Structure 1
């Protein structure tokens, strides 16, 4: 008879206690729920209407979070503000802070969240390979994420790492921040192969797509799921597959 479960404590591996969690990170909320964690509240951007909402990622209701008395509050270095982190810590709450900028950390954080939440470690996932016997040629792209001013992503972001994995490299921008502002004529001068338009954080409409097509002549404009491009965690492997299909070169005539 297998007695491994009966001797867990004796082997120095005590059972985890499932913890009550407030998550202010959409990617983490999705991941935690998929792992079976006890998420008692989240931000209004987490798209979980069944949960209590405690403000936004940049303006959470700290007093309401404290009143919920969670065992853990989940934040992200990029998504959330340091002042909110400090206020939660000052209130005596335990805080977990993720820092995901590439595919390796996107998968690693899943296990970290499981351990922090007191739930079983998930099955180890891998990032799907996109290389075949005849890999697609290297392509360049511009990814607008805001308008007035136009903004984009850099290669130092998770979205940039996802595209690099797909063999798509971002056009060079003079502004070297993670989310630089840019002029469309500066982009057009580089003649990117693709203009990849995510569904979030900005809601681009038909008129905006036409504007991009007219300003960046000759580039193929493709709309993609912004969550697949920017949300990480349990969705990463399947998101890679979906983006691979969405961004595949058109069939050769």
Structure 2
């Protein structure tokens, strides 16, 4: 009998949808990949404000969540309603691979999917960086927020030769005034298009004289099928920022 799954994490939604077709019965409004989640998948609002009664009404066998993207009070309410909630923790690429295996097994996958093996091969095959550049990695503006310590995106960038200037900060996503960002010794600004949508006209102008790499946020922050192409896509964007 197929496992009925509600996913509260966009990247996990994509992973489940392409690996165990038909398992999803619910997903958030932010779950945009793949474009077609399949017939009958109910939208249950956002990652931070899920519609708990709607999820309970779906009677899923499993809810998949993440300790960073979802709020514990919502997850506690789902457990109190009798649901099994699997909560992932992803701080590094190794964490991502391990948690994806765990989630997909719980959702009824038979073995490791081809895309996950391709992702492992892509990252394992990366040559050692010939150059390391110190960078600031904003994730929000008004106020400015950046990647700090112990983040999945920071680990990916490290493997691609980018040293996060705030990797030693006590917070994981600190608020830092732009003046401090400009004086921290960074050689590069890495600007993803999510969660804040940095663009060529919104972001680089705040870092005059510093190269800016506009990167695909899905490639940088999602742990799912995008991991197979992320080293190539991110690497090209970072190389394009040299000047």
Q: List runs of 5+ in structure 1 lacking aligned partners.
A: 1-16
Q: Residues 96-150 of structure 1, C-alpha deviation per residue, up to 9 Å, x if partnerless?
A: 1111110101111221112100121224621243326xx4211111111111110
TM-score by length of 1: 0.84
Q: Residues 147-195 of structure 1, C-alpha deviation per residue, up to 9 Å, x if partnerless?
A: 1110001241100010011121111378521100001121211231211
Which one of 79, 96, 99 corresponds to residue 106 of structure 1?
96
**CA distance in 1 between partners of 2:126 and 2:179 (Å):** 32
Aligned-pair CA distance for 1:64: 0.3
Most deviating of 168-177 and 38-47: 168-177
Confirm or deny that 1:178 pairs with 2:178.
no
TM-score by length of 2: 0.88
SS of 1:229 mapped into structure 2: helix
**CA distance in 2 between partners of 1:100 and 1:234 (Å):** 15
Q: Is the 8 A contact 1:76 1:98 kept in 2?
A: yes
SS of 1:141 mapped into structure 2: strand
RMSD (Å) for aligned C-alpha atoms: 2.1
What's the counterpart of residue 24 of structure 2?
A: 39
Q: Is the 8 A contact 2:149 2:171 kept in 1?
A: no
Q: Show the 5 A alignment for 1:70-219.
A: 70-123=60-113, 125=117, 126=120, 127-131=123-127, 135-172=129-166, 175-214=169-208, 217=209, 219=210
SS of 1:118 mapped into structure 2: coil
Distance 1:118 1:191, change over 3 A: same
Aligned residues: 231
Aligned-pair CA distance for 1:33: 0.9
Confirm or deny that 1:25 pairs with 2:9.
yes
